[in-house]
């Protein structure tokens, strides 16, 4: 698999990160692991892990991407078949989970296939055991039928909000999906293709993000930089831009006394950069958090 531009490709499919997961993906191709390639995607609670799995599957250009979410299964009908004496006999219904396993096996025979199993913490212990057996044996048994997975074309991605079954951990490779909500080093003016004077307001924005426990990506800084050069002239306008572009911002947190001080410092830095001696104050531009639109 080509991992040269994995980070950029994942961004095209909606997953933006400060990390490049290329090395972790190389580790999963381990010849000593005699089971289906399985990625155990860990991280903070929420849907970011799901976004990661979906973007990764697309970025790796897998032909087939199957998704199953435990807790959302449709109720299966009771299936009936005829025996040799034409007597009806009940057979076990095939659950959505099992249907996805069987379909994955069939597709993997000739095409690259990903099976994403989400919300695994909602699965029954029986499903955990069956999944472990499938991964290690590469075979799924159902109603006297046997389905074999082609390990050269197949990868399983597991997502759970709690630790997965111990045996599943032993046959999977763990990967931690980073959170954007952590303070980090601000970009330099060169990275934003700006003049050196811009570094002052970049640093004041970094102080704001540190106080909010946020770490925006370079692309987010680029969007804010455009607003600052074209539109932002007041602290309230800056709040509008930041709330609009930065993932994870809490609206009420923009109105604390600490934030007011930091935004005024940023406004001063922006005025110095743009060359405005007296800022133009426009009333009614930003609804207070107690008086939202």
Q: The sheet that has 113-118: what strands, in order across it?
A: 64-69, 113-118, 154-159, 37-43, 173-177
Can you give the length of the chain in residues?
293
Residue 160: is its pLDDT beyond 60?
Answer: yes
Q: Identify the top-confidence range among 213-217, 231-235, 281-285.
A: 231-235
Q: Is residue 153 part of a domain?
A: yes
Q: Mean pLDDT of all residues in the chain?
A: 84
Q: Is residue 22 part of a domain?
A: yes
Q: Is residue 279 part of a domain?
A: no
Q: Is residue 282 part of a domain?
A: no
Q: Is residue 89 part of a domain?
A: yes
Domain that holds residue 72: 6-177
Judged by DSSP in three states, 141 sits in strand
| Helix/strand number for the chain, H first, E second | 10, 9
CB 267 within 8 A of CB 235: yes
Q: CATH code at 101?
A: 3.40.50.300
b or e along 120-157 (b: 16 or more beta carbons within 10 Å of the residue's beta carbon)?
Answer: beebeeebbebbbebbbebebeeeeeebebbeebbbbb
Give pLDDT, residue 278: 47
pLDDT digits (tens, 9 = 90+) for 11-55: 888 887 777 888 888 888 877 778 999 999 998 877 889 999 999
Residue 66: is its pLDDT beyond 80?
Answer: yes
d(CA 121, CA 179): 21
d(CA 30, CA 145): 30
Q: Does the CA dihedral 196-200-204-207 come out positive or negative?
A: positive
Q: Is residue 34 part of a domain?
A: yes
If 0-12 CB within 10 Å is exposed, 13-18 middle and 19+ buried, where does residue 86 land?
exposed
Give pLDDT, residue 182: 54
Q: Does the CA dihedral 174-179-185-190 come out positive or negative?
A: positive
What element of type H or E holds 156?
Answer: strand 154-159
Residue 293: is its pLDDT beyond 50?
Answer: no
Same domain membership, residue 233 and residue 90? no
Q: In terms of pLDDT, which residue wins out, 92 or 265?
A: 265
Same domain membership, residue 243 and residue 200? yes
Give pLDDT, residue 98: 92
Same domain membership, residue 204 and residue 75? no
Give pLDDT, residue 79: 44
Same domain membership, residue 101 and residue 128? yes
- Least confident window among 59-63, 86-90, 169-173: 86-90
Give pLDDT, residue 61: 92
Predicted TM-score (pTM) of this structure: 0.65
The residue behind tokens 């039928």 is 145
Count of the separate structural domains present in the chain: 2
Give pLDDT, residue 183: 58
Same domain membership, residue 251 and residue 164? no
User: Which residue, of 177, 207, 230, is where some domain finishes?
Assistant: 177
Residues 6+ apart with CB under 8 A from 121: 70, 160, 161, 162, 164
The candidate with the shortest Cα–Cα distance to 53, out of 180, 157, 176, is: 157
Q: Is residue 189 part of a domain?
A: no
The candidate with the shortest Cα–Cα distance to 201, out of 280, 285, 264, is: 264
Dihedrals φ, ψ of 46, to 5°?
Answer: 130, -175
pLDDT digits (tens, 9 = 90+) for 168-215: 988 999 999 876 655 567 888 888 889 999 999 999 999 999 999 888
**41 phi-psi bin (left φ>0, alpha ψ -120 to 50, beta other):** beta
Same domain membership, residue 86 and residue 18? yes
Same domain membership, residue 257 and residue 203? yes
């Amino acid at each position: 698999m080509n991992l040269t531009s994995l980070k950029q490709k994942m961004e095209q499919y909606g997953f933006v990160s400060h990390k490049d997961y290329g090395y972790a993906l190389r580790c999963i191709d381990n010849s000593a692991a005699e089971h289906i390639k399985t990625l155990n995607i860990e991280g903070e609670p929420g849907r970011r892990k799901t976004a990661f799995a979906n973007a990764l599957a697309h970025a790796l250009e897998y032909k087939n991407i199957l998704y199953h979410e435990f807790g959302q299964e449709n109720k299966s009908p009771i299936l009936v078949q005829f025996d040799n004496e034409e007597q009806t006999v009940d057979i076990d219904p095939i659950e959505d989970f099992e249907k996805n396993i069987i379909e994955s096996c069939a597709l993997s025979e000739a095409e690259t296939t990903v099976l994403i199993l989400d919300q695994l913490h909602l699965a029954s212990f029986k499903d955990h055991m069956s999944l472990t057996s499938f991964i290690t044996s590469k075979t799924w048994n159902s109603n006297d039928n046997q389905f074999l997975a082609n390990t050269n074309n197949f990868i399983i991605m597991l997502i759970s909000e709690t630790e997965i079954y111990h045996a599943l951990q032993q046959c999977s490779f763990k990967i931690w999906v980073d959170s954007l909500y952590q303070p980090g080093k601000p970009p330099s003016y060169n990275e934003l293709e700006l003049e050196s004077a811009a570094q002052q307001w970049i640093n004041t924005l970094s102080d704001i993000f540190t106080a909010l426990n946020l770490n925006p990506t370079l692309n987010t800084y680029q969007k804010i930089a455009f607003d600052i050069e074209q539109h932002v002239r007041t602290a309230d306008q800056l709040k509008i831009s930041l709330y609009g572009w930065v993932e994870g911002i809490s609206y009420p947190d923009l109105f604390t006394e600490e934030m007011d001080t930091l935004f005024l410092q940023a406004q001063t830095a922006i005025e110095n950069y743009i060359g405005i001696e007296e800022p133009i104050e426009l009333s009614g531009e930003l609804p207070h958090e107690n008086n939202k639109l």
